[in-house]
């Protein structure tokens, strides 16, 4: 009998039993969660995805989005200097220990918010953009409405517990997906460690609260949180090959359990799904020729990736591409919609993407048009 047990033990050591993620009970301990594929937005798994709950510092993803929008639009810059107010420096919870009147760049404040989830850095950025945190929160709620985050209401910029400050797993997935359209976010969320105040006696070491970026294959973001009401929360993202997944995990009693269940959720997606990238964002698919345009052939590109998500067990499907152009008149601005590209299988449209102009095109004057045509004759 003892020999049999020994042989059985050796067999287990040599041939360990692996349990596929699909055979596990996903998010067993979480209150809420969701897994989506980023480019298509398709839901791969959900658990109470629309329940309104406290979400702690996942709130800061909205702050990150607004900051990046402002930088992209030229309203603020990475090197702008922000002066910390008494209100910002007095914030509780996680912080980078701003002192009242301290000057710090938008870049370093963004690092502090993104890497260690610093509340003081978050409020300093909010005040810099809107003059006060209260006014910035109005901007957050306006943006939430624009994005269709129907279960989200913000009361502050940090995610600290406050009555009525709520969101949902699905809303957070939509927010994360929008945030990831700014590729700069990954430059910060993927950092496991960095420093601020580098050339001062108060050099400060930042260590990422998201341990997945160090220990999970492909992980490069996105945000973690904890408060008494929300418990441990996480918005995790990882990319393998050409597929990016977004996992939201809410209401975990322990940080380690949150991390492990987030990884199991991502494993489930990568183990069971594949993404066929048919055409990439900004790929030129055609040229537009318009009478009296100052650009002879206007490049038409995809607004977003054209991809098809399917289970790995499914057979490959053949697709046809159908391009439909709008009725277009000059002038055309870069990124103006000019048509749509459809992916067709068995006569059915299964995926679509807008087509946009790659550059500006203006209507030439009658004289320029006449001279151009005259020169072509001779």
Secondary structure of the chain in the HEC alphabet? CHHHHHHHHHHHHHCCCCCCHHHCCCCCCCCEEEEEECCCCCEEEEECCCCCECCHHHHHHHHHHHHHHHHHCCCCCCCCEEECCHHHHCCCCCCCCCCCCCEEEHHHHHHHHHHCCCHHHHHHHHHHHHCCHHHHHHHHHHHHHHCCCCCCECCCCCCCCCCCCEECHHHHHHHHHHHCCCCHHHHHHCCCEEEECCCCCCCEEEECCCCHHHHCCCEEEEEEEEECCCEEEEEEEEEECCEEEEEEEEEECCHHHHHHHHHHHHHHHHHHEEEEEEECCCCEEEEECCCCECCCCEEEEECCCEEEEEECCCCCCCCEEEEEECCCCCCECCCCEEEEEEEEECCEEEEEEEEEECCCECECCHHHHHHHHHHHHC
Among residues 132, 136, 170, 163, the alpha carbon closest in space to that of 62 is found at 136
Q: What is the pLDDT of residue 30?
A: 98
Among residues 269, 262, 153, 155, the alpha carbon closest in space to that of 215 is found at 262
Q: In the predicted model, what is the mean pLDDT of residues 110-127?
A: 98
Q: 332: which 2 tokens?
A: 């055309």
Q: What is the pLDDT of residue 368?
A: 54
User: pLDDT-based confidence at 375, cuts 50/70/90?
Assistant: low
Q: Which CATH class is domain 25-274?
A: alpha beta
The structural domains of the chain, with segments of one domain joined by +, span 25-274, 280-377
Catalytic sites, residue numbers: 57, 60, 117
Q: What is the pLDDT of residue 72?
A: 97
CA distances from 333 to 285, 297, 300, 358, 363 (A): 18, 14, 12, 8, 12
Q: 179: which 2 tokens?
A: 């945030």
- Most confident of the ranges 22-36, 119-133, 317-331: 119-133
Give residues with Cβ within 8 angstroms of 77, minimum separation 6: 71, 106
Per-residue model confidence as pLDDT tens digits over 180-225: 999 999 999 999 999 999 999 999 999 999 999 999 999 999 999 9
User: pLDDT-based confidence at 12, cuts 50/70/90?
Assistant: very low
Cα–Cα distance, 301 to 108 (Å, whole number): 35
Q: What is the pLDDT of residue 24?
A: 74
> What residue has token string 């985050």?
149
Among residues 246, 234, 269, the alpha carbon closest in space to that of 29 is found at 234
34 beta partners: 46, 248
Q: In the predicted model, what is the mean pLDDT of residues 234-261?
A: 98
Q: In the predicted model, what is the mean pLDDT of residues 96-110?
A: 98
Cα–Cα distance, 332 to 102 (Å, whole number): 46
Q: In the predicted model, what is the mean pLDDT of residues 92-110?
A: 97
Is 67's pLDDT higher than 90?
A: yes
Q: What is the pLDDT of residue 13?
A: 38
Selected from 2.60.120.380, 2.60.410.10, 1.20.1070.10, 2.70.98.90, the CATH number assigned to the domain covering 280-377 reads: 2.60.410.10
* Length, in residues, of the chain: 378
Per-residue model confidence as pLDDT tens digits over 249-306: 999 999 999 999 999 999 999 999 999 988 899 999 999 988 888 898 999 999 988 9
Q: What is the pLDDT of residue 378?
A: 55
Cα–Cα distance, 375 to 371 (Å, whole number): 6
Cβ atoms of residues 275 and 243 within 8 Å = yes
Cα–Cα distance, 104 to 69 (Å, whole number): 20
Cα–Cα distance, 105 to 71 (Å, whole number): 13
Cβ atoms of residues 332 and 357 within 8 Å = yes
Give the gyration radius of the chain's Cα atoms: 25
Give the CA angle between residues 263, 266, 267 to the nearest 5°.
85
Cα–Cα distance, 43 to 168 (Å, whole number): 14
Cβ atoms of residues 123 and 87 within 8 Å = yes
With a threshold of 0.75, does the pTM exceed it? yes
């Amino acid at each position: 009998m003892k020999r049999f047990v020994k042989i059985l033990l050796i067999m287990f050591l040599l041939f360990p039993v692996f349990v596929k993620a699909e055979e596990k009970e996903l998010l067993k301990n979480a209150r809420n969660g969701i897994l989506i594929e980023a480019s298509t937005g398709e839901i791969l798994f959900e658990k109470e995805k629309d329940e309104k709950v406290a979400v702690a510092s996942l709130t800061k993803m909205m702050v990150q989005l607004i900051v990046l929008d402002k930088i992209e639009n030229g309203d603020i810059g990475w090197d702008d200097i922000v002066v910390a107010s008494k209100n910002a420096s007095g914030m509780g919870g996680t912080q980078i220990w701003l002192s009242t009147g301290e000057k710090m760049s938008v870049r370093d404040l963004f690092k502090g918010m993104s890497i260690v989830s610093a509340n003081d850095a978050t409020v300093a950025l909010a005040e810099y953009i809107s003059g006060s945190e209260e006014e910035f929160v109005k901007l957050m709620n306006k943006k939430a409405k624009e994005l269709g985050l129907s279960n989200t209401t913000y009361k502050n910029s940090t995610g600290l517990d406050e009555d009525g400050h709520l969101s949902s797993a699905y809303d957070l997935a939509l927010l994360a997906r929008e945030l990831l359209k700014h590729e700069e976010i990954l430059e910060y969320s993927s950092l496991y460690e960095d420093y601020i105040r580098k050339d001062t006696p108060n050099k400060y070491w930042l260590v990422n609260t998201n341990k997945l970026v160090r220990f999970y294959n492909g992980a490069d973001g996105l945000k973690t949180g904890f408060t008494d009401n929300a418990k441990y929360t996480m918005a995790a993202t990882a990319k393998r090959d050409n597929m990016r997944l977004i996992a939201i995990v809410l209401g975990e009693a322990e940080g380690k359990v949150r991390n492990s269940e987030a990884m199991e959720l991502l494993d489930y997606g990568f183990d069971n799904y594949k993404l066929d990238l048919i055409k990439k964002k900004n790929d030129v698919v055609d040229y537009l020729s318009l009478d009296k345009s100052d650009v002879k052939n206007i490049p038409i590109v995809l607004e977003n990736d054209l991809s098809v998500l399917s289970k790995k067990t499914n057979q490959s499907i053949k697709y046809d591409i159908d391009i439909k152009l709008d009725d277009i008149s000059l002038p055309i601005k870069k990124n103006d919609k000019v048509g749509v590209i459809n992916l067709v299988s068995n006569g059915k449209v299964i995926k679509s993407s807008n087509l946009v102009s790659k550059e500006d095109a203006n209507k030439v004057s009658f004289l320029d048009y006449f001279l151009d045509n005259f020169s072509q004759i001779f």
